[in-house]
Structure 1
């Protein structure tokens, strides 16, 4: 099992780098070429969402992306580090406690981002805990051809 971990400050300009790294590691892991665009888009959406949550909640910790290559699967976890707000599960938690108007907009964007990810990835899981939320996504890999 090979793992690559990427941490970046919650700045929108770093999302592109995360997308490029994810696509490169996915390709090396054996994810089908036809699926690489979906990997890029899903990682971009998950990272953009995490950046938005970090910025809106004043979280100074970096966004964490873990890319794991297993025997038949390639998986990516994007952690947002936002605790006490429902994190990645905020859409299931029914929203925040603050009546501020902009939170309604943020919640709508959050739900839209999760809907996009769910449309791109067949195997996706969204969890939240004390350390924040995590979006887990995985794709099947094709074993490399062996020489005869």
Structure 2
């Protein structure tokens, strides 16, 4: 199992770099060429979400992206350090701005990711959250000599 770790400041201009790195590592891991656009889009959406959460929460910590190559699959995990509240708990301590609009935008981003990736796991908690996306890999073909 090989893992590439990418950390970047929570700035929108770094999302493009994360997308490019993710696509390059996915290609090397054996993800089907036809799926690479979906990988780029899903990573871009997940990273943009994490950047937004960090900026809204005033969190200086970097966004973390793990690119994990396993035997028959390739996974990307995008992590943030923004505290997440339990769904429906938008009472005291809510972030500035419209919490309902922010929650709706967050749900839309997760819906886009779910539409692009068949295998998605979202985990959230008071210490942050992560989105893990997994794609199958194609075994390398052996060309007879």
Under a length normalisation based on structure 2, what TM-score does the superposition of the two structures give? 0.92
Give, in angstroms, the shift of residue 103 of structure 1: 1.8
CA distances 1:77-104 after superposition (whole Å, capped 9, x unpaired): 0001112x23xxx6xx225332855222
| 1:117 and 2:113 correspond | yes
Q: As a proportion of its length, which structure holds more helix?
A: 1
Task: Output the CA distance in 2 between the equivalents of 1:59 and 1:118.
Answer: 26
Unpaired stretches in structure 1, ≥5 consecutive residues: none
Note the 1:1-148 alignment, pairs <5 A.
Answer: 1-83=1-83, 85-86=84-85, 93-94=87-88, 96-97=90-91, 98=94, 101-148=97-144
Alignment RMSD, CA only? 1.5
Under a length normalisation based on structure 1, what TM-score does the superposition of the two structures give? 0.90
Hey, which bits of structure 1, 4+ residues long, moved more than 3 A?
A: none
Q: What number of residue pairs does the alignment pair up?
A: 142
